[in-house]
Amino acid sequence: MAAGAAVSGEGGEGGGVRVERDKETGVAVVTLDRPERHNAIDLAAAARLAAVWREFRFDESVRAVVLTGAGGRAFCSGVDRGADVPQPPSPYSLDDPLLAVGPKANDLWKPVIAAVRGMACGGAFYLLGEAEFVVAAEDAAFFDPHTTYGMVSAYETIHMAQRMPPGEVARTALMGTAERMSARRAYETGLVSEVVPAGAEVAAAVRAAEVIASYPTDAVQGTVRAVWAATEAARGVALAQAPHLVALGNLPPDRQAELFTARRSGFRTR
């Protein structure tokens, strides 16, 4: 942030999410702040993210947002496997704590730019899928471990499909933990819009956000809404299928845990 940046007292820190606002530029930086857990999202962090996006809807001092992760090792590794998420017995109901972690899920149409360094995997795509574009460090790596652990990659693939060709989405999801997509390959497929040296990703995203925040905000938000209107019909239909696919295809949690414990450490980067 710029020298005049101020940390909001209300949104500042808590729930594993840190918020900084620069009222001079109109840019807010939202940081997933659980580096010891690779910025995995637990229930408290999920609730805080949703609250932050809703708060930004009413904060006229925020005109553009940068979303990043603390620590340098990971942007986000999805839902925290230690989180206890009770599920209803009906196969027609599924409680997913990540469904409301993104800005669009909370009806925020101010532009959000993701700044990614290190790992971005699994549930990270809920956030990347609702950002306007992604700036990645050269050491960023993208992958989806779901199939490796006997889980259906439904929401993640739907979010990826908003930016990447179907074949690339399928490869990323089906190869699981055996393969990671480099920042350069992510740029080539359209998932990432810019690749910068490691450590420069937040500054690059803030620079872009400051330009966007300097424009009339109603025009900017209308443009964001128009871009989303182009894909949200197909996205909505696909998301409606996701809970049933997950309920039908996921292994029981204890079997997933066995596969997670027995996972292989090697992977190929492409």
How confident is the prediction for the chain on average, in pLDDT?
Answer: 92
User: How wide is the angle at C-alpha 235 spanned by C-alphas 123 and 173, nearest 5°?
Assistant: 40
Q: Using pLDDT thresholds of 50, 70 and 90, give the confidence band for residue 11.
A: very low
How much is the pLDDT for 76? 98
Residue-wise pLDDT for 211-243, tens only, equals 999 999 999 999 999 999 999 889 999 999 998
> Mean pLDDT over residues 37-41, rounded?
97
Q: pTM of the full predicted structure?
A: 0.91
Domains and CATH numbers, the chain: 13-81+96-269 (3.90.226.10)
> Mean pLDDT over residues 59-81, rounded?
96
How much is the pLDDT for 97? 83
> Mean pLDDT over residues 200-221, rounded?
98
Contact call for residues 66 and 205 (beta carbons, < 8 A): yes
Whole-number percent of the chain with pLDDT over 90? 80
How much is the pLDDT for 1? 52
How much is the pLDDT for 90? 72
Pick 247 or 10 by higher pLDDT: 247
Pick 106 or 264 by higher pLDDT: 106
Q: Which amino acid is at 99?
A: L
CB-based burial label for 55 (10 Å; 0-12, 13-18, 19+): middle
How much is the pLDDT for 261? 87
Return contacts of 128-134, CB within 8 angstroms, 24+ apart.
128/159, 128/191, 129/102, 129/158, 129/159, 129/160, 129/162, 129/163, 130/102, 130/103, 130/104, 130/105, 130/159, 131/67, 131/103, 132/224, 132/227, 133/193, 133/194, 134/186, 134/191, 134/192, 134/193
Contact call for residues 259 and 148 (beta carbons, < 8 A): yes
How much is the pLDDT for 157? 97
How much is the pLDDT for 187? 98
